[in-house]
Structure 1
Amino acid sequence: MLLHDPEVLLIDELSLGLAPLVVQELIRVIERLRGEGLTIVVVEQSLNVAASISDRAVFLEKGRVRFDGPTRELVERDDLARAVFLGHEGG
């Protein structure tokens, strides 16, 4: 589906400004590409979108790594969820 055969695909703000149906279609495309073995790096502010397409997450806040690990663990971290959704410092 991609013009060339890249080793890595970089995607910045997958969901920004797009209708939810378009985002869902892009997620399906990304899932298919992942299934084909393509490495994909996504920068995304929506935790729900990021969690739906990733195995591993790196959470950055003010230029510092606050979390680096399995996405499911990031989703379970209430302190980081508050930082994402409310803009507050986590614990």
Structure 2
Amino acid sequence: MTLVYAAHGQSLRDPTLPSHTYQSEAVTNTQQSLVLNSVINGASSYAVINNKIMKVGDTVQGVRIVSIGKSQVSLSDGRKLHLFQSVTQR
């Protein structure tokens, strides 16, 4: 008995590469998440959100910054962004 397999001219995809849908989902998730990197308090307060310096009244991803505290930022949609506490803090 002889078995014959037809070989098609298809190239094989590298299974270690992420799919196209994975890449577009990663971009979407990055755009939706806001990270409070740092807060600078003084005569004027500033917040570093997603590595951009912002002040009260500025908008980030369509949401206005309402207030900047010592370790948090309040947004007009009701969300509050918090700084991570230092691991060495007791």
Shorter chain as denominator, the TM-score bin is: under 0.3
Higher-strand-fraction structure = 2
- Name the structure with the higher helix share: 1
Bigger Rg, which one:
2
Higher RCO structure (Cα 8 Å, ≥6 apart): 1
TM-score w.r.t. structure 2 length?
0.26
TM-score (structure 1 length as normaliser): 0.26
